[in-house]
Amino acid sequence: MKKDKNRVYIFDTTLRDGEQSPGYSMNTEEKLLLARQLERLGVDIIEAGFPIASEGDFDAVKQIAREIKKSQVAGLARANKTDIDRAWQAIKGAANPRIHTFISSSDIHLKYQLKKSREQVLKEAVAAVKLAKSYTDNVEFSPMDATRSDKDYLVDMVSAVIDAGATTVNIPDTVGYAIPEEFGRLIAYLFAHVQNIDDAIIATHCHNDLGLAVANSLAGIRNGARQIECTINGIGERAGNTAMEEAVMALQTRKDLFGLYTKINTDQIYKTSRLLTQITGISVQPNKAIVGANAFAHESGIHQDGLIKEKITYEIMTPQSVGISDTHIVLGKHSGRNAISHHLKKMGYLLNDEQLNKVAARVKDLADVKKDIYDEDLEAILSEEIYRGEDKYTLVYLNVVSGNVAIPTATMEIQVGDEIVRKAGFGNGPVDATFAAIRNITQTNYPLMKYIVNAITGGSDAQGEVTVQLKYNEHSVVGRGAHPDVLVASAKAYINALNRLEFIKSNRKKVKVVE
Residues that bind ligand KIV (CB under 6 A): 17, 102, 142, 144, 170, 172, 174, 205, 207, 514-515
Measured from the CB atom, the residue of 205 and 362 that comes closer to Zn ion is 205
Which of Zn ion, ligand KIV, none interacts with 144 (beta carbon under 5 to 8 A by kind)? ligand KIV
CB atoms within 10 A of CB 312: 9
Which of ligand KIV, Zn ion, none interacts with 367 (beta carbon under 5 to 8 A by kind)? none
What's the min distance (Å) between Cβ of 143 and ligand KIV? 9
Phi/psi of residue 151, each to 5°?
-60, -40
Asked if residues 46 and 71 have their Cβ atoms less than 8 Å apart, the reply is yes
What's the min distance (Å) between Cβ of 142 and ligand KIV? 4
Angstrom CA distances, 193 to 152, 158, 172, 186, 188, stand at 9, 10, 18, 11, 9
Which of ligand KIV, Zn ion, none interacts with 30 (beta carbon under 5 to 8 A by kind)? none
Measured from the CB atom, the residue of 140 and 377 that comes closer to Zn ion is 140
Measured from the CB atom, the residue of 28 and 227 that comes closer to ligand KIV is 227
Which of Zn ion, ligand KIV, none interacts with 72 (beta carbon under 5 to 8 A by kind)? none
What's the min distance (Å) between Cβ of 132 and ligand KIV? 14
Measured from the CB atom, the residue of 104 and 499 that comes closer to ligand KIV is 104
What's the min distance (Å) between Cβ of 207 and Zn ion? 6
Measured from the CB atom, the residue of 46 and 414 that comes closer to Zn ion is 46
Distance CA 143, CA 173 (A): 10
Asked if 140 interacts with Zn ion (CB under 5 A), we say no
Measured from the CB atom, the residue of 148 and 358 that comes closer to ligand KIV is 148
Which of ligand KIV, Zn ion, none interacts with 362 (beta carbon under 5 to 8 A by kind)? none
| Spatial CA neighbour of 359 closest among 327, 326, 335 | 335
What's the min distance (Å) between Cβ of 144 and Zn ion? 8
Phi/psi of residue 187, each to 5°?
-65, -40
Q: What letter would DSSP give residue 14?
A: I
Which 210-229 positions form the footprint of Zn ion (CB under 5 A)?
Answer: none
Measured from the CB atom, the residue of 245 and 515 that comes closer to Zn ion is 515
Residue 139, helix vs strand vs coil = strand
Distance CA 57, CA 27 (A): 9
What's the min distance (Å) between Cβ of 85 and ligand KIV? 18
| Spatial CA neighbour of 155 closest among 128, 113, 118 | 118
Cα Rg of the chain, angstroms:
24
- The C-alpha angle 512, 48, 126, rounded to 5 degrees, equals 75
Stretch that binds Zn ion, among 16-24, 151-159, 261-269, 367-375 (CB under 5 A): 16-24
Which of ligand KIV, Zn ion, none interacts with 102 (beta carbon under 5 to 8 A by kind)? ligand KIV
Asked if residues 332 and 304 have their Cβ atoms less than 8 Å apart, the reply is no
Asked if 17 interacts with Zn ion (CB under 5 A), we say yes
Measured from the CB atom, the residue of 182 and 391 that comes closer to ligand KIV is 182
Distance CA 305, CA 235 (A): 36
Measured from the CB atom, the residue of 85 and 385 that comes closer to ligand KIV is 85
| Spatial CA neighbour of 31 closest among 68, 1, 4 | 68
Closest-approach residue to Zn ion (CB): 17
Distance CA 290, CA 298 (A): 14
Per-residue burial over 338-365, b if 16 or more Cβ lie within 10 Å, else e, is eebbebbeebebebeeeebebbbebbee
Which 476-515 positions form the footprint of Zn ion (CB under 5 A)?
Answer: 515
- Alpha-carbon torsion (59, 65, 66, 68), positive or negative: positive
Asked if residues 8 and 226 have their Cβ atoms less than 8 Å apart, the reply is yes
Distance CA 204, CA 207 (A): 10
Which of ligand KIV, Zn ion, none interacts with 514 (beta carbon under 5 to 8 A by kind)? ligand KIV
Asked if 47 interacts with Zn ion (CB under 5 A), we say no
What's the min distance (Å) between Cβ of 104 and ligand KIV? 8
What's the min distance (Å) between Cβ of 157 and ligand KIV? 14
Q: Which residues contact Zn ion (rule: CB under 5 A)?
A: 17, 515
